[in-house]
Amino acid sequence: MRIFVERILRGAGKLILNSSKNIVSKKDGVGNFVLQADLISEKYILESIKKRYPSHKVFSEENTDRIDNPENEKGLWIVDPLDGTTNAKNNIPFFSVSIAYVENGIVRVGGVYDPNRDELFLAKKGEGAYCNGIKISVKNETELEDLIVNIGSPYSTENFRLTYPMEKVFYEKGARMVNFGSAALEGVWVASGRLGAYFEAGLKPWDIAAVQLIVSEAGGRMVDPYNVGNFSVFNQKAVVIGNEKIVNKILKFW
């Protein structure tokens, strides 16, 4: 299955690079829209999954099977065909494709592909996390002032209200803050040690399902600061990612 995930991630990435970045529809929220490239990538991924695993269901950003209780599904694929749509539309080379395979609420295989850099981040539960076949791990730093922290930019006003207090905390602690515009890619950059931590409110399952496994297999931790002991990719208010000590420090501000 890992080889299958890698193949369709690379195939979708190639299609995105060669597809139109024109807007075909708009969604709720500021700057939230769908590109032709979204739909082309999703069509390819969904057709590939249904051909290989016809009984499995797909939970995708643009087109989802009817799923009453995703945490009880024995064969579920969570797909973001193009994460970082605004970047893609504006020819900013920071976007990705994300695919996760889930059984009974547990992510078993997760992959995120960056077609601009030809970097494929992949993990299978219990077998470590890799970028283009090279094992990756989170940073070891334990002080916020030593880190580059990615703060997400949510679409809704409500989620901005959750984000702003954390920006203030990181600023006061001396962390360098950035926002690159692709939650999945930013998340695996934490897993690979490029970023020290990540925070964003209002994410969807397709933004974080693959990332959750990759981060965990890279020695990191992903939590919802509003529900620390019961994290679910299907039901979270916000997400904090980093190594164990950094995450625990961030949680003290709640």
Residue 119 confidence (pLDDT):
99
Q: At residue 232, does pLDDT exceed 60?
A: yes
* Average pLDDT, integer, range 183-192: 98
Place of tokens 């030809």: 118
Could you tell me the pTM of the whole model?
0.92
Count of CB atoms situated within 10 Å of the CB of 15? 20
* Average pLDDT, integer, range 195-210: 94
- Residue 144 and residue 246 in contact, taking contact as beta carbons nearer than 8 Å: yes
- Residue 94 and residue 180 in contact, taking contact as beta carbons nearer than 8 Å: yes
Q: At residue 111, does pLDDT exceed 60?
A: yes
* Average pLDDT, integer, range 180-196: 97
Place of tokens 């920006």: 167
Q: At residue 63, does pLDDT exceed 70?
A: no
Place of tokens 């934490």: 190
CATH 3.30.540.10 placement within the chain:
2-135
* Average pLDDT, integer, range 77-98: 95
Spatial CA neighbour of 107 closest among 9, 222, 238, 244: 222
Which CATH topology does 144-251 take?
A: D-Maltodextrin-Binding Protein; domain 2 (3.40.190)
Spatial CA neighbour of 190 closest among 169, 210, 231, 220: 220
Residue 31 confidence (pLDDT):
47
Rounded Cα distance between 254 and 197, Å, is 16
* Average pLDDT, integer, range 60-74: 77
Name the average pLDDT for the chain.
Answer: 90
Q: At residue 155, does pLDDT exceed 50?
A: yes
* b/e map 52-79, b = 16+ CB within 10 Å: eeeebbbbbbbebeeeeebeebeebbbb
Question: Strand ranges (DSSP E) for the chain?
Answer: 23-26, 33-35, 57-60, 76-83, 96-103, 106-114, 119-124, 129-131, 134-135, 148-151, 176-178, 197-201, 221-223, 238-242
Place of tokens 């939230």: 32
Residue 75 confidence (pLDDT):
93
CATH 3.40.190.80 placement within the chain:
144-251
Residue 30 confidence (pLDDT):
42
Q: At residue 28, does pLDDT exceed 50?
A: no
Q: Which CATH number fits domain 2-135: 1.10.10.60, 3.30.70.580, 3.30.540.10, 3.40.640.10?
A: 3.30.540.10
The CA-atom distances, in angstroms, between 186 and each of 84, 88, 182 are 10, 15, 6
* Average pLDDT, integer, range 11-35: 71
- For 24-33, 227-236, 243-252, which range has the lowest pLDDT when averaged over its residues? 24-33
- Residue 114 and residue 88 in contact, taking contact as beta carbons nearer than 8 Å: no
Q: At residue 216, does pLDDT exceed 50?
A: yes
Rounded Cα distance between 65 and 108, Å, is 20
Sign of the CA dihedral with 66 first, then 72, 75, and 81 last: positive
